Amino acid sequence: MFFKFRNSFMIKILAVTFFLISQTSFILAQDMTKKRLFEKEKSPIVRMNFMLPAGFHLFGSLEQMLIPKLTFQLQGGIISALGTGKESDSPELSNVSTVGFFSGELRRYINLYHRSKKGKNISKFSGDYFALKYVYTSVPFARSNQSINFESTTAFQFHYGIQRQIGKKFFVGGNAGFVISDFYRSNPKNSPYGGFAGGYIVTGK
């Protein structure tokens, strides 16, 4: 009776051990598959971008993978923004300003592996992501209304975004979230933010 119980117990121990080993092997195999998915994205990806409608953004960007699904992106360029005003009860475009800007953005992609399993393209980080972005804008170097005092600004943005590669050299995307500007001042501004982006992929296989 004792030997029968011991044999039954050993069988259960062996079964649990086999299960744990198989699960560990499965997880390791998944990790290796995920790592292979991102092998070709180790090189920085340089893009020329435009963005609408919060003014017209024209800028260059460099996105570098830090670890799988986590990237850091640098951006730099110009923003031309339009304001509307009234004069003699007639609406007109006014307060046009063009500023330089620089930003750093940390992106966490959330569905690249699942898109790959479904046979969808994930090249050049074609996926959905959450991002935290710091933006600095300069004082305007061109403006239509000299009577308005423009200042440089700094802002943090938190947004949800999408990015898709079109063909081999083009991409489209967009984001939506909120921005906190001039957070170090006594009256920081908090507002929703969103836009549509697209452009040309300069480097990256």
At 92-130, the pLDDT tens digits run: 455 667 888 899 999 999 998 888 888 888 888 999 999
Encode pLDDT of 145-190 as tens digits.
Answer: 544 445 567 888 899 999 999 988 999 999 999 888 776 666 767 7
Tell me which residue of 183, 169, 181, 177 sits closest to 195, measured CA to CA: 177
Are residues 90 and 122 in contact, defined by beta-carbon separation less than 8 angstroms?
Answer: no
Name the 3-class secondary structure at 35.
helix
CA distance 181 to 187: 9
